[in-house]
Amino acid sequence: MKYCFNLAISLYPSIKIRFNKNLNVRSILEKGFGAGIRMNFVELMIGEKLKEADSALDVMGSDRKVLQVACQDFTNFLKFHWNLMGKEASHCELVERLENIFKEDSSELDAFLTVWIGIWFKKWKERVKLLIGDQNASRWNKVSKTLANAEPLWKRIENKQELQEIIVATLVKNGEICGTEILSENLLKMELGENRVQNLNDKERVFTVVNEALRKAREMAQSKGPLIFVKIDKGYYNAGTE
């Protein structure tokens, strides 16, 4: 099945990763890690594992967002279990650890990714739901309005990354490994919008927002069914299935 993420998505922050279709992960890993591909080797491996999980996925094309979310979730999963959340230069340390693991025993990393992607992709199919045309329009419009109301304030928050990592850690700790970046950002935005925070200096209100987001993150992680809704145009969907 193809996931049409090149269309409107309500719960999706901007993540940009560039890939060269001609890159061969095996040859790159054998030659070493150049300046431009220090993290791409993991992205390429994850792309291969996703293709193994579902050969219909076009991870370099129409399903690129699936790969992007998987990469971010894998990063968050490792940051949590390696106690890197909240640390400066955590991404650099993460990459160095992964490189060392690959150099010491590449088969161990490959085997772990096979298992992890298998679990993640099963979760992905549970958590992501396509909304076609006007399906669930009232709920969609309500969520979109709340997120839009929170956006100006969200842009002014200086420590948004730290706040997101707190929510991400709670999601992962409670067993959620899919969509952690998307869910953490939008949990905070929803609380900002619903609590109508006007001033970031209102520490009590901001504290309430974070606590509510943490509570809902725990509930989400333990819930079943879809959490991320992707809205696509009905005409586009019909054209794509003809």
Secondary structure in 3-state letters for 12-64: CCCCCCCCCCCCCHHHHHHHCCCHHHCCHHHHHHHHHHHHHHCCCCCCCCCCH
pLDDT category at 175 given cuts 50, 70, 90 is very high
Q: What are phi and psi of 57, to 5 degrees?
A: -70, 130
Write down the pLDDT at residue 41: 80
Mean pLDDT of the chain: 79
* 130 three-state secondary structure: strand
Helix axes 40-53, 64-81, angle to 10 degrees: 120
Instruction: Please give the C-alpha separations between residue 40 and each of 45, 48, 128, 198, 202, in angstroms, as whole numbers.
Output: 8, 12, 25, 40, 41
pTM for this entry: 0.79
Pairwise CA distance, residues 179 & 227, whole Å: 9
Percent of the chain having pLDDT more than 90?
A: 42
Q: Is the pLDDT of residue 98 over 70?
A: yes
10: nearest Cα among 237, 233, 230:
230
pLDDT category at 32 given cuts 50, 70, 90 is very low
User: Lowest-confidence range among 4-8, 35-39, 148-152?
Assistant: 4-8
Q: Is the pLDDT of residue 19 over 90?
A: no
Write down the pLDDT at residue 169: 97
